[in-house]
Amino acid sequence: MFQKDALYSKLIKAEAQKLGFMFCGISKAGFLEEEASRLETWLKKGFHGEMAYMENHFDKRLDPRKLVDGAKSVISFALNYYTDQKQLDPEAPKISKYAYGDDYHLVIKDKLKQLIQIINEKIGEVNGRAFVDSAPVLDKVWAQKAGFGWIGKNTNLINKKVGSFFFLAELITDLELEYDIAPTEDHCGTCTRCIDACPTEAIVAPYAVDGSRCISYLTIELKNELPSEFIGKTDNWMFGCDICQDVCPWNKFSVLHHEPAFQPHTELLGMTKNDWEEITEDVFKKIFKNSAVKRTKYSGLKRNIQFLKNS
Length of the chain, in residues: 311
Residue 7: CB partners within 8 Å, gap ≥ 6? none
Distance in angstroms (rounded) separating the CA atoms of residues 271 and 88: 7
> Is 133 marked active-site?
yes
Distance in angstroms (rounded) separating the CA atoms of residues 115 and 16: 7
Q: Find, among 233, 262, 254, the residue nearest to 102 by Cα.
A: 262
Residue 185: CB partners within 8 Å, gap ≥ 6? 150
Phi and psi at 93, nearest 5°, equal: -55, 140
Q: CA 303, 305, 309, 311: dihedral to nearest 10 degrees?
A: 80
Residue 21, CB half-sphere, CA atoms under 13 Å: how many? Answer: 26
Amino acid identity, position 33: E
Amino acid identity, position 299: S
Which one from 63, 133, 235, 246 is the annotated catalytic residue?
133
Catalytic residues: 133
